[in-house]
A = this chain, B = another copy of it.
């Protein structure tokens, strides 16, 4: 019963099959192969607009390159206090941007509100003596599994645009968000005002395939340079491109995300009464107390405490390949805690 992270899951068979299929004969290096060159079109179809797609090795790279492309080194990137770029990337955003500052905002379920955002911009606009608010970064789904509705993204992006800030979306679990919302990918990205998207596939079934989807075409050249310069341009590009193409084909990404979301909902129902937040995607946050968590672990549950070990709160992440047996067993355990 491993609910530690969707990063612990294997790759989907379709992804492996795609890899094998492209493994034949010579192909141009450094993104000049036919598969890499078809990414713009494939993602363009998905997002219903012209895009430039840049594959990278990790979500951290996608986030950091994106953020660095939206801020000068003397800028500030506004994000939630629990954002992955703040907490879990060893300062990658600061490194790539040449020392921009992350300005932190509060908000329930790791979501940022327009009011908090407006306040943070105002507080930090003090002319030459302070850094300059330059970009907003939001996570979709958030680090607490919450989902921004299209309207919410648009509201935030409007605040950003009118203050001259760019908008980045950390979509490490973008598939789970779209599956939860039942919307078009465009609705929560460029149509709502997002400039750059970190599109994650690894957690949801790929081997290692993350991409920056660039809606603001004028930034493409800069992103291409930043990617190369940081060592994220793969020499054998076909292998990462093949993963992404397979991931999009026949909506594999959505199917996998729907499955993990649905299974998470079952955990959520079983844990109703001590959920930290309503379950909106494939992450379940519970706060049954320290003793109850110990009991779950004794029974074979694997998961991380949220915050300190004394918090009594834990996170259960459902992977794309989580077994029915895992879910059924955990549902029983969770229900018994009520």
Residues of A whose CB lies within 8 Å of any CB of B are 2, 4-5, 7-11, 16, 19-20, 22-30, 56-64, 72-74, 87-92, 94-95, 97-102, 126, 128-132, 202-203, 207-208, 222, 224-226, 228-236, 239-240, 319
Contacts and interface: CB of A to CB of B under 8 A. Distances in A.
B236 A202 contact: yes
Contact of A11 (B207, B230, B236): B236
Given A57-B231, A94-B100, 17 more contacts: A5-B29, A7-B235, A10-B24, A10-B26, A56-B231, A58-B233, A59-B231, A61-B232, A74-B95, A90-B128, A90-B129, A91-B99, A91-B229, A92-B231, A129-B228, A207-B236, A208-B208
A228 B8 contact: no
A239 B239 CA distance: 13
Contacts of A64: 230-231
Contacts of A236: 7, 9, 11, 202, 207-208
A326 to B, nearest CB: 10
Given A129-B30, A229-B74, A235-B59, A94 B88 contact: no
A231 to B, nearest CB: 3
B24 A74 contact: no
A224 B20 contact: no
Nearest to A27: B8
Instruction: Tell me the dominant secondary structure on chain A's binding face.
Output: loop
B74 A90 contact: yes
A202 B202 CA distance: 20
A331 to B, nearest CB: 19
A226 B74 contact: yes
B88 A240 contact: no
Contact of A57 (B19, B25, B232): B232
Contacts of A128: 30, 90, 224-225, 228, 233
